[in-house]
């Protein structure tokens, strides 16, 4: 995601701590995009997979949904809990937490691309190439 890359570039730059509001703004933008992505999945994709006639698909979809909800909740809590003052008091702790959460999200995106999206394509009658932006399938 472009905003995540911008967050990481900003945090890698010397002196980023001097403009914490700009960093928080970027993280807020990312958090908003993540929330929209999650809502689209939760409203469009997962309901179809969770009611699929094949029990294997229902089970896998439930497992993937449970995992992603935890990651999304963790990111929302992170964005909420790290105030400007907290970031200024522990800038390296903030960077470590951003890297940890982006790492979790990256692994999750890889699982979506290798497990969730192919399952949706195969079992929900999707056709055509995958979308370029992260959006629900079909």
**Could you tell me if residue 131 is inside a domain?**
no
CB 134 within 8 A of CB 106: no
Question: Tell me: the pLDDT tens digits for 58-74?
Answer: 898 898 888 887 888 88
Token pair of 83 as six digits? 């105030």
Domain count, the chain: 1
**Could you tell me if residue 30 is inside a domain?**
yes
**Could you tell me if residue 19 is inside a domain?**
no
Q: What is the pTM of this model?
A: 0.77
**Could you tell me if residue 134 is inside a domain?**
no
CA–CA dist 138, 46 (Å, integer): 12
- pLDDT score, position 44: 85
Question: Tell me: the pLDDT tens digits for 4-42?
Answer: 999 999 999 999 999 999 999 999 999 999 989 888 888
Mean pLDDT of 113-138: 63
**Could you tell me if residue 14 is inside a domain?**
no
**Could you tell me if residue 138 is inside a domain?**
no
CA–CA dist 10, 124 (Å, integer): 40
Query: Could you give the angle at the alpha carbon of 137 between the alpha carbons of 36 and 26, nearest 5°?
Result: 30
**Could you tell me if residue 102 is inside a domain?**
yes
Does the pLDDT at position 133 exceed 70? no
CA–CA dist 107, 117 (Å, integer): 14
- pLDDT score, position 126: 57
Confidence at 129, pLDDT banded by 50, 70, 90: very low
**Could you tell me if residue 18 is inside a domain?**
no
- pLDDT score, position 125: 66
Question: What is the span of the domain harbouring residue 81?
Answer: 2-7+25-85+92-123
Residue 80: how many CA atoms within 13 Å on its side-chain side?
6
């Amino acid at each position: 995601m472009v905003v995540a890359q911008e967050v990481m570039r900003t945090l890698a730059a010397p002196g980023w701590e001097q403009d914490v509001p700009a960093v928080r703004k970027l993280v807020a933008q990312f958090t908003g995009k993540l929330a929209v992505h999650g809502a689209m999945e939760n409203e469009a994709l997962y309901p179809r997979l969770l009611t699929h006639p094949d029990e294997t698909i229902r089970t896998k979809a439930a497992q993937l949904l449970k995992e992603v909800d935890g990651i999304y909740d963790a990111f929302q809590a992170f964005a909420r809990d790290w105030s400007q003052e907290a970031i200024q008091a522990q800038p390296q702790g903030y960077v470590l937490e951003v890297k940890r959460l982006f790492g979790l999200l990256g692994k999750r995106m890889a699982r979506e691309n290798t497990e969730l999206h192919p399952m949706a394509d195969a079992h929900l009658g999707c056709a055509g190439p995958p979308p370029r932006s992260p959006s629900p399938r079909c």
